[in-house]
Amino acid sequence: MSMSQSVAEYLRDQAWRRLDRVERRDGGRNARCALALLDAAAYADLLDDEDPLIAGLHRADFGPRGFDPGERVARLIRSWESGEPWQLLLAMRSTLQSTLT
């Protein structure tokens, strides 16, 4: 599996977690988050591993379980509700790089 496919799979898994969440009075937050993550997953699937948005994530753990971004990036992903797909990937890359410097 390529890095971009692994990132896309991780984002889809997180989107399904949001769709499975039931919270009273969330105001549609879980649905917005899930849609934004599904959009970003579809976008990541179209990129190759040489794309700067994917290549910048190379410091994340790509082990047998796939993409494992670490807690700070995972928190960012869990809170993402809107924005263009490339903006999420850029934010993920920036957060990952700031944790490693």
- pLDDT tens, position by position, 41-100: 999 999 998 998 888 887 666 666 778 888 888 999 988 988 899 999 999 988 887 765
- Of 58, 70, 56, the closest CA to residue 99 belongs to 70
Average pLDDT over every residue of 28-42: 92
Question: Is residue 16 within 8 Å of residue 41, measured between CB atoms?
Answer: no
Question: pTM (2 decimals)?
Answer: 0.87
What does DSSP say about strands 66-68 and 61-63: parallel, antiparallel, or unpaired? antiparallel
Q: What DSSP assignment string belongs to 24-76?
A: TT-TTHHHHHHHHHHHHHHHHHHS-TTSHHHHTTTTSEEETTEEE--HHHHHH
Average pLDDT over every residue of 25-31: 84
21 versus 14: which is more confidently predicted? Answer: 14
